Structure 1
Amino acid sequence: MGDWSLEQVREHIGTIRPLDTAAAQAAAAYLDRLTKPPGSLGKLEALAIQLAGITGEMKPVLTKKSVVVMAGDHGVCEEGVSAFPSEVTPQMVLNFLNGGAAVNVLARQAGADVQCVDIGVAVELTHERLLARNIRRGTANMAKGPAMSREEAVRSVLTGAEIAAELVRQGTQLFVTGEMGIGNTTPSAAILSVLSGRPPAETAGRGTGITDEKLLHKIQVLEQAIQINRPRADDPIDVLAKVGGLEIGGLAGLILGAAAQGRPVVIDGFISSAAAFIATAVNPAVLPYLIASHVSQESGHRLLLQELGLSPMLEMDMRLGEGTGGVLSLHLVDAACRIMQEMATFESAGVSGGAT
């Protein structure tokens, strides 16, 4: 597995089909027959058309939604880039599993399941609801060398894709990306810098709320990591191995795997978007399957969404991660579906002035 090429990774995950243009066009035409001025529901209409294209159904019903929270630790925390210690990662994983985190609360409200995956937590965890897929006990310090081997990076992506396929077999119709990993805004900023060519001074943010002094230090750590590792911008697996995180690789694989299974993916915040950037670099065909939930307060997130060409639905000044922004936006996904299913047409309502 260590020498896998991008092409081999793509082949293993499977073909990502183009969207169903006939279903998308049918949805667009139907929207114009509903009792409203054409296009007046804005992004809800664009979302309804996108969901029709993904599912192949003009009026999609997406009842089973899964939030997949990938958890991993980061050796770069040794450099003091986070306001919280690494011990918080496993503590929060148990909080997710016991239903007490913000993402659990918001997922219950939105009628979504939360699946928590240990893909790279530094300590051993056991829980009946944990998806135990640990590849290594935390990454190495990317400021001193590669975060992981190429083989581990490939395994993280393939693990994510396998989980997507597994959940689809269990009935999942839509995915939301979530993550937990103290220090993970640092590898995310590094991924954005390498794949976009932007300097770390532009891509680094405050993460969990670090001071001005710590932010300058974080930028220096990023510059050092990129200089030492020389990740290749034309090889996203190399970038992931050199500066990434296991949960970022897992989410990239989940995104690719969900798209290969024909399922839409709601992307959460900065870390999830960095994973989406890796996924689109592996296979650009994944892009039409992505739905941007919100733009977070992390400064690099807006840049990442611009790089991906995605327009976020919400701007809530959030910066928690976990999948919280993604789950919050599920109400808008439901709204787009319900507009298609429940709203009257000009003909059925006997209203004059509809499109002819």
Structure 2
Amino acid sequence: MPIEFAEITQPDDTPRSTTRPRFGALDALGDWLAARQGATHATPPRRARIVVFAADHGIAARGVSARTPGQTPALAAALEQGGTPLGVLADVSGTAIRVVDVGIDSAEAGEFTVRRGSGAIDTEDALTGDEAERAVRAGARVADDEVDSGADLLVPAELGVGATTPASVLVAALTGTEPVAVVGRGSGIDDHAWMRKTRAVRDALRRARPVLTDPMDLLRTVGGADVAALAGFLAQAAVRRTPVLLDGLVVCAAALLAEELAPGARSWWAAAHLTTEPAHALALEHLDLEPVLDLGFAEGSGTGAAALLPLLTMAARLAE
């Protein structure tokens, strides 16, 4: 059965304040939140949730990351114990983190696991058609779980070695950009790894172009379980009228697909920050979203959105 999302209800973005703005971006952020709360004045989120979709990518075997294939399980374990940059930032804001395994290449499978690592997208499909659908549905289910449990603000994120490579391919495909213009340094790669990554993106982009008009085929061909799940999560969060803070490149690449799957979903999202990844800026431009922060972060992985959460609370308090 084809995946269909319910019609998106558009928030009322009529300016809330009748006085002269005094706090610039904080005023705008407060207005954005108030509109999505359906209120005259914003109130601080009571139960923000960071949801991290974790998966491995076969393309990591091509040497496109500073990390080695096989590190994702350890990274996921460290995150759940609060020992990563995202864990530190989430702790500062008092925000709970949920890690969802949709494609980690390990012996243990979770409730939402669709496969153990994706295919190497320069020579093979990332997923089967069934796996792509299952991943999108899994993301939508997780969004429903969180909203039904009381979440009033969602922060989606990714975790997995090599994830920026399929994300760069998707952005290049959907914006008509050449590989050299979308490939950044990601996890801190050197010049040799950058050239390997550019070749991988070039070859995967050739495979993506014939399926450019079908978002599910794009996810199957050059995406991955995490990107597909993120797309489903973002689309369903909008259906459930729940505000979302978008983070880095991988999440924004998934957002491009979510907007294709559920037109109008982007009206429920705000771009938390801008990373140094060139494809990230292209994705935000395509979504017509302006980042709130530019902290010079090299990666996303939820960190920029987590850093914005205290400011969002301040914006809401100023609007009271």
Match of 1:149 in 2: 128
What's the secondary structure of 2:126's corresponding residue?
coil
* Separation of aligned partners in 1, 2:221 and 2:147: 31
Identity of matched residues, %: 32
Query: What is the alpha-carbon distance in structure 1 between the residues aligned to residue 108 and residue 21 of structure 2?
Result: 49
**Cα offset, 1:273, TM superposition:** 0.9
Q: Residues 137-185 of structure 1: CA distance to partner in whole angstroms, max 9, x if unpaired?
A: 0101111121111221121111111101111111100000111010011
* 2:107 matched residue in structure 1: 124
Q: Which residue of 2 aligns with 1:46?
A: 28
- AA aligned opposite 1:55: Q
Aligned residue for 2:40?
A: 58
Q: Distance in 2 between matches of 1:16 and 1:158?
A: 17
Structure 2: gaps (5+ residues): none
Is contact 1:69-1:117 (8 Å) kept? yes
For 2:210 and 2:314, how far apart are their aligned partners in 1? 42
The 2-side partners of 1:231 and 1:171 are apart by 41
> 1:68 & 1:188 partners in 2: Cα distance?
18
Amino acid paired to 1:330: L
- Once residues 286 and 125 of structure 1 are traced to their aligned partners in structure 2, the CA distance between those partners, rounded to angstroms, is 33
Whole-angstrom CA distance in 2 between matches of 1:230 and 1:324: 32
Q: Kindly provide the CA deviation profile for residues 101-148 of structure 1, in whole angstroms up to 9, marking residues without a partner as x.
A: 11111111112110000000010348xxxx641100010111112111
Give, in angstroms, the shift of residue 59 of structure 1: 2.4
Residue 61 of structure 2 corresponds to residue 78 of structure 1: yes
Deviations along 1:4-29, one digit per CA (max 9) or x if unpaired, are: 2xxxx233xx232111x2xx43xx34
2:10 and 2:289 map into 1 onto residues whose CA distance is 17
> Partners of 1:276 and 1:258 in 2: how far apart?
11
DSSP 3-state at the match of 2:114: coil
Instruction: Determine helix, strand or coil for the equivalent of 2:52.
Output: strand
Structure 1 unmatched runs, 5+: 342-356
- Tell me the equivalent position of 2:70: 87
CA–CA separation in structure 2 for the residues paired with 1:109 and 1:231: 45
- The alignment partner of 2:4 has SS state of helix
CA RMSD of aligned residues (A): 1.6
Once the two structures are superposed, what CA deviation does each residue of 1:326-355 show, in whole Å capped at 9, x if it has no partner?
1101122112211111xxxxxxxxxxxxxx
Q: Given the superposition, is the C-alpha separation of residues 137 and 87 from structure 1 closer, same or farther in structure 2, using an over 3 Å criterion?
A: same
Determine which of 168, 172, 187 is the counterpart of 2:166: 187
Match of 2:231 among 238, 244, 252: 252
TM-score when normalising by structure 2: 0.95
In structure 2, what is the Cα distance between the partners aligned to 1:87 and 1:60? 43
CA distance in 1, matches of 2:264, 2:116: 32
1:329 aligns with 2:312: no
- Equivalent residue for 1:112? 95
Distance 1:97 1:90 in 2: 11
Indicate the SS of the match to 2:264: helix
Matches within 5 A, 1:228-243: 228-243=207-222
With normalisation by structure 1, the TM-score equals 0.86
Tell me the CA shift for residue 228 of structure 1: 3.6
Radius of gyration: which is bigger? 1
For the residues of structure 1 that align with 2:161 and 2:139, how far apart are their CA atoms?
20
Instruction: Give the match's secondary structure for 1:176.
Output: strand
**Paired residues of 2:277 and 2:299 also in contact (CA < 8 A):** no
Provide the C-alpha distance between the structure 2 equivalents of 1:132 and 1:322, rounded to a whole number of angstroms: 22
